[in-house]
Amino acid sequence: MLQSREMLRLYRQMLLIRRMEERVAESYGEGKIGGFTHLYIGQEAVAVGAISALNFDDYVIDTYRDHGHFLARGGDPKKFMAELFGKQTGICKGKGGSMHMADVERYFFGGTGIVGGSIPIAAGLGLACNYREDDRIVMSFFGDGATNQGVWHEGLNFAKLWNLPVIFICENNFYGIGTGVQFSSSLTEVHKKASGYGMPGYRVNGMDVLEVRRVCEEVVKLVRGGAGPALIEARCYRYQGHSMTDPGRYRARAEEELWRKRDPIPRLAKDLIDGGFATEESLLELDREIEALAEEAVQYADESPDPAPEALYEDMFAVRYPSDPHA
Amino acid sequence: MPEMRYYEALIEAMAEEMRRDESVFLMGEDIGLFGGTFRATEGLMAEFGSRRVRDTPIAEAGIVGLAVGAAMAGLRPVPELMTMNFAIVAMDQIINHAAKMRYMFGGQLNLPITIRAPGGGGTQKGAQHSHSIESWFVNSPGIRVVIPSTPADAKGLLKTSIRSEDVVLFVEHEMLYSSKGQVPDEEVLIPFGRADIKRPGTDLTIVAWSKMVHEALHAAEALAAEGIDAEVLDPRTLDPFDWDGVFESVARTRRCVVAEEGWRSVSVGAEIAARIQETLFHELDAPVARVAAVEVPTPYARKLEQKALPNADDIVRAALKIAV
Ligand SMILES: Cc1ncc(C[n+]2csc(CCOP(=O)(O)OP(=O)(O)O)c2C)c(N)n1
Ligand SMILES: [Mg+2]
């Protein structure tokens, strides 16, 4: 059983993601955020439970649905919002946007917009861990849809073949955009795909942050101990559309209602209150504090300057040559 | 200066860099025990072991992807693609991931990766194994393209590539591996973005790279017999590109042939011709002439392949047309 302080920390992080995402949706509606924006609302327990089982210097890598992982990794909410607003103060100086959040100081190697593209890269991070014989491990997040992509299989094969310390976490939210997993995957029980590579596969309730944390802690210990890679399937649900432009016609209302009853945040709130670790008032107070943080982030992003025009030409190469694009 | 073969120069470059820097490692298909399809990694596994010379599965996207991850974590991977043809399989990892990541993350990390790959045709390997597709990569921002024509350039540029903090595609040529040349004894690091005059001349500049440099040198000899003194200029790196070097030469000779082994349309040669005409319009005595491959999938039959791929005769013909 986790200590109450740790449970409260998990609660706080999930709530931070939820409130920040609500502000993201709002700001998108106001036209302050553009492009593809994929919200993480509903899946908070996965990023928070899993990442909280890591050390600070372990590697984390992700997909375009990267807001939750960025924040769970401790990324700065202000730099996060500023990135979405395309501002100079954004974590990627406004060059990445929603899908390409990275925070290298926190060993968060961010978002790729190519489904499955991060999987061999995750294995490469794991290769570096083994090459240097350091104590680090890698956590790689992706969706159910990614598990049907060619490089996903290449990455898992490499990881097992070379005994790389990588935990592959599939956030099975049952849909890739509007296509149900039963229409896209030969195995709908994604964790069983692990057996094709001789690695252990686990299934967890991705709506229960304590379960995610418990299983991840176990798996982290094994993988750090040299057991090789593992696959975890966290079953979860995104409450919003695939992205901000999704009319959402492909899911039954009853199904959505069912999953809303499994919301990981009230679930942990109940555990906290029942355990005597919090009261309704103390959680409300926390919520107000987080709302203020989110508001501050929006304000910071609003007030931050646009990138300078010269920024267009910067950051492509470590060393520039006269033939490179310039003003 | 000892004479050595192109592939031996590559081996020396890798061995020297691996001795110098523990974070440099090689990975690729059949590079270890087998010694490399073109012998370009021969002996390296014996010296450095299987930790630093890694035989991989046949999974090109995976190979490049692992290199990206390893580089993110601070290593200096030198992945080999068995041939450039298979870069097509790894295109997403090369273009979308390796080449874009630094920029889209706002410069938060460097990716010191050198992807080695032999390209080119001329040995009857047919449509899928004869590509000269360096232009595809020059068309994409974020990746350096290095393409040496001689053993000395191969060694000096590979060392520079491995020490570079950026993603480099290092294009070798299947037909150059056994070619010989003088390679300096002392350590030489050839800088990127410096064209090399492989033959000085006064009447005409032939811009060519990789194997086409040698075709251009043959062509220059034939042209000399006609009383035309051709200069052969090898840019050596296509990204970055030594525009000043090309403009300086062409401004002097006032005539230019651009010769490449790849397909003609929308190619590096097309870009060079366009920029020469933009920059030196008034200095030119003739339009820039072009030599490139016929735009068909490379055929197998020897006679047809020879007709499809450009050679010295094509360069001579192009030069004579503009030399009058
Ligand atoms: C290679 C590639 N193909 C298609 C797309 C378009 N696309 C973006 S997200 C997505 C669905 C991915 O589903 P899943 O992996 O389950 O992740 P989720 O969005 O559910 O988190 C698709 C098809 C893409 N980004 N990349
Ligand atoms: Mg999904």
Note the pLDDT of residue A161.
98
Beta strands per DSSP E along chain B: 3-5, 24-28, 53-55, 76-80, 114-119, 144-146, 168-173, 180-182, 196-199, 204-208, 230-234, 237-239, 256-263, 289-293
- Statement: residue B309 has pLDDT above 80: yes
Q: Which of B300, B290, B147 is nearest to B206 (CA)?
A: B290
Residues ≥6 apart with Cβ < 8 Å to B88: B131, B133
In this prediction, what percent of chain B has a pLDDT beyond 90? 99
Query: Residues B40, B7: contact at Cβ < 8 Å?
Result: yes
With an 8 Å Cβ cutoff, are A117 and B93 in contact? yes
Active-site residue flag, B282: no
Task: Find the helix packing angle between A77-84 and A4-29, rounded to 10°.
Answer: 20
Answer whether the bond into residue A247 is a cis peptide, omega within 30°.
Answer: no
- Whether residue A107 is contained in a domain is answered as yes
For residue B21, the SS3 value is coil
What is the Å distance from ligand 2's center to A207 Cα?
Answer: 15
Indicate which ligand has the atom closest to the C-alpha of A145: 1
pLDDT of A21: 98
Query: Atom 19, ligand 1: which residue's CA is nearest?
Result: A176
For residue B187, is it within any domain?
no
User: Distance (Å) from the C-alpha of residue A139 to the closest C-alpha of chain B?
Assistant: 12
Domain assignment of residue A322, yes or no: no
Question: Which residue range forms the structural domain that includes residue A252?
Answer: 4-313
Catalytic site includes residue B129: yes
Residue A107, C-beta contacts closer than 8 angstroms, at least 6 positions apart: A56, A57, A58, A59, A60, A73
Is there a single domain that holds both residue B141 and residue B237?
Answer: no
Test mutation, B24, B48, B103, chain A, max A CBs within 10 A: B103
Q: Does A286 touch chain B (CB under 8 A)?
A: no
Same domain, B270 and B221: yes
Nearest CA to ligand 1 atom 20: A176
Closest ligand 1 atom to the C-alpha of A171?
21
Neighbours of ion ligand 2 (CB under 5 A): A 143-144, 173, 176
**A325 within a domain of the structure (yes/no):** no
- A158 and B192 within 8 Å at the Cβ level: the answer is no
Do B131 and B217 sit in the same domain of this protein? Answer: no
* pLDDT tens, position by position, A57-116: 999 999 999 999 999 999 999 999 999 999 999 999 999 999 999 999 999 999 999 999
Asked whether the predicted pLDDT for residue A1 surpasses 80, the reply is no
Mean pLDDT of B172-201: 97
Q: Which of B70, B92, B239 faces A117 most closely, judged by CB atoms?
A: B92
CA A119 to chain centre: 14
Q: Please tell me which residue in B8, B29, B60, B80 is annotated as part of the active site.
A: B60
A100 touches chain B (CB under 8 A): yes
Distance (Å) from the C-alpha of residue B223 to the closest C-alpha of chain A?
Answer: 32
A144 C-alpha vs ligand 1 centroid, how far in Å?
9
Q: What is the DSSP string of A105-154?
A: GGTEEEEESSTTTHHHHHHHHHHHHHHHT-S--EEEEEETGGGGSHHHHH
d(CA B225, CA B115): 41
Confirm whether A213 is domain-assigned.
Answer: yes
Domain that holds residue B95: 3-182
Q: How far is A198 from chain B (nearest CA, A)?
A: 16
What's the structural domain count of chain B? Answer: 2
Question: Whole-angstrom Cα distance, residue B86 to residue B231?
Answer: 34
Does residue A251 surpass a pLDDT of 90?
yes
**pLDDT digit string, tens, across residues A119-140:** 999 999 999 999 999 999 999 9
Q: How far is the CA of A167 from the centre of ligand 2 (A)?
A: 18
Ligand 1: nearest atom to the Cα of A64: 9
* Predicted confidence (pLDDT) at residue B1 exceeds the cutoff of 90: no
Whether B259 maps to a domain, the answer reads yes
Domain-located, residue A38: yes
**Which pair of tokens denotes residue B184?**
């300096």
**Do the domain assignments include residue A323?**
no
Q: What is the biggest distance separating any 2 CA atoms in chain B, rounded to whole angstroms? A: 60
Q: Residues of chain A with pLDDT > 90: what percent?
A: 97
pLDDT tier at B324, thresholds 50, 70, 90 = confident
For chains A and B, CB pairs below 8 A equal 158
B14 has a pLDDT exceeding 80: yes
Among residues B97, B129, B131, B173, the one annotated as catalytic is B129
Q: What is the CATH number of the domain that holds B39?
A: 3.40.50.970
Do residues B314 and B245 both lie within one domain? yes
A241 C-alpha vs ligand 1 centroid, how far in Å?
A: 13
**Same domain (yes/no): B15, B159:** yes
Are the beta carbons of A318 and A98 closer than 8 angstroms? no
Give yes or no for residue A324 having a pLDDT over 80.
yes
* Residue A247: predicted pLDDT: 83
Task: Name the 3-class secondary structure at A318.
Answer: coil
Residue A280, exposed/middle/buried by CB under 10 A (0-12, 13-18, 19+)? exposed
Partner-chain residue, chosen from A120, A319, A323, that has the shortest CB–CB distance to B61: A120
Whole-number Å distance between alpha carbons of A177 and B259: 47
How many residues belong to chain B?
324
Can you tell me the mean pLDDT for B119-137?
96
Residues B99 and B170 in one domain: yes
What is the whole-number distance in angstroms between the Cα of residue A146 and the centre of ligand 1? 7
Across all residues in chain B, what is the average pLDDT? 97
> DSSP class of residue A36?
-
| Two structure tokens written together for B11 | 């081996």
- B-facing residues of A in 135-154 (CB < 8 A) are 150-151, 154
Sheet of A230-235: strand order equals A108-112, A59-63, A138-143, A166-172, A230-235, A201-205
Q: What is this structure's pTM?
A: 0.98
For the CA atoms of A237, A192, B29, A149, the dihedral, rounded to the nearest 10 degrees, stands at: -30
- The answer as to whether A319 is a domain residue is no
pLDDT at residue B34, rounded to an integer:
94
Choice from A41, A66, A100, A115 to test ligand 1 binding pocket (greatest atom count within 8 A of CB) = A115
Rounded (5°) CA angle A322-A325-A327? 95
Residue A130 sits in a domain whose CATH number is: 3.40.50.970
**Is the domain of B165 the same as that of B208?**
no
Element (H, E) at A5: helix A4-29
One domain, residues B147 and B26: yes
Q: Tell me if A92 and B92 make a contact (CB, 8 A cut-off).
A: no
The pLDDT of B170-181, averaged and rounded, is 98
Q: Which atom of ligand 1 is nearest to the CA of A147?
A: 15
CATH number (domain holding residue B299): 3.40.50.920
Nearest CA in chain B to A58: B73
CA distance A192 to chain B (A): 22
Q: Which of B132, B158, B182 is the last residue of a domain?
A: B182
| Residue B42 in domain | yes
What ipTM describes this predicted complex? Answer: 0.98
Q: Which residues of A touch B69 (CB under 8 A)?
A: 61, 109, 120-128
pLDDT tier at A248, thresholds 50, 70, 90: confident
Question: What distances in angstroms separate CA A232 from CA A73, A191, A219, B190, one per listed residue?
Answer: 19, 6, 9, 48
pLDDT of residue B198: 98
Task: List all residues 6 or more positions away from A214 whose beta carbon is below 8 Å from its beta carbon.
Answer: none
Total tally of structural domains belonging to chain A: 1
Number of the ligand closest to the Cα of A143: 1
Of the pLDDT bands very low, low, confident and very high (cuts 50, 70, 90), residue B88 is: very high
Q: Do residues B174 and B220 share a domain?
A: no
Judge whether B190 lies within some domain. Answer: no
What share of chain A has pLDDT > 70, as a percent?
Answer: 100
Q: Is the pLDDT of residue A236 over 80?
A: yes
Is A78 domain-assigned? yes
Q: B97 is written with which tokens?
A: 């991931």
**Closest atom, ligand 1, to C-alpha of A243:** 19
Domain boundary among B128, B159, B182: B182
Dist CA A50 CA B48 (whole Å): 37
Of B262, B257, B259, B258, nearest in space to B293 by CA:
B262
State the distance from the centre of ligand 2 to the C-alpha of A39, rounded, in angstroms.
12
